[in-house]
Structure 1
């Protein structure tokens, strides 16, 4: 049967989010998560739909891709389609031909689950080499972890401005605004998400917001992710990254997640150390495939 490449309309995003939820399971390779679409949703439903691609056979979605920027495709497949040769070859054909409307000409990267046929074919037959390594980390949520020492508040409409301000102070060039929060929170994936702010106030209810995180569950019994986590640039090296990460793990556990996942460039040793201090364990490094310009 023919594999069909599709660019869904806004009303088709729920289907893409739904299959991504189903494809998350313990022991799965690092892969695209519904929370990744949820974080992208801050740009709006129309922009999210424009960035999503699906591949289907006989009406069943077998692969979902997110153009997380014009030159990066993050893609995963149904667990039972990891070694599907017809699908893998169609994916290779579609991502390597700019006329197919997936990736443009020039330097581009593809993130896909390791040890699956599609990225292996890209490397072996199309000459896409491996890029710099990323370190995935995981924390088991079967049992509760230590409580954070900071005051943690869930972000709703009243705290959206403070959350946006914290991200601006944590990430250079951040364009996240109060409106971005409202748009993101209106998206389908946010039903399984929480935004948190940490305050260093000594328990007196005052003080400054020092760190923020958003967590995304994929439903009970499935892994959840942290995306993003940041500490205010004026409050770093005080353990606040560890504390907000502990709060994130607790929030995911409350949402029913079986584990908490995060990934960071392996070169960012400080971030890796922060997650490890919060009880996350390193998993096998992953690498994108890239095509040189």
Structure 2
């Protein structure tokens, strides 16, 4: 039970309840249950659903002796309608925003903040490019630069078919923004704006030049070692806050598979057998696999 408003204190209080079954909640629907004071001794409750989503069966009036508190009323409603989640709130129906409006408000509030970058991705980018990937210098400050900036990523996210239809808009934008192939190391020289990162921001270095420089990093000797570490650490570490982009993992596995053809490494397991990785086949499987560490503990 979710109780998010004051309990009714006296006769005449107007109480509005939004009741949602699991299916309707997933569909973003909302139902009003209006409580009308029918006198000192009795209250009646009636409800209806949004027109675009029919309620399965009529919701009959619930007439009981006067309830002492909203908590008792909620309990009675949940007993009468076990599939309904009852939340008590004061105020008119129009005062509460729809699911779509709430998602849009959350997006507008959070989209201006650049999402944090996971340390595994930072290590990968710096390992692939220990110097500026455009000019090759290490004599200036080196920073991770994004090929597509955050405002561009936000605009791309807003054109996604699922935008506004679920609660993962910001996560989709963060994964796209922090895609390892959207990043590289560039030098910075703030005083005279002479660094490659400065030139990128001033459009003296084009996006295509940065993309070509980033592509060269994948072809350098030893790059597969860094991608292999990135893959394993991403699977082992807890990344709920950042998310795990399976499109990125598939691309990493494709690179590792190409590099593994000559050495033919054996498959291995991670997280005590929870994940099995085969670099030659370029695949990974979740399940319960034989694990040497786990077997040795028995």
User: TM class, shorter-chain normalised?
Assistant: under 0.3
The answer to which structure, 1 or 2, has the higher relative contact order (CA under 8 A, 6+ apart) is 1
- Under a length normalisation based on structure 2, what TM-score does the superposition of the two structures give? 0.22
TM-score by length of 1: 0.23
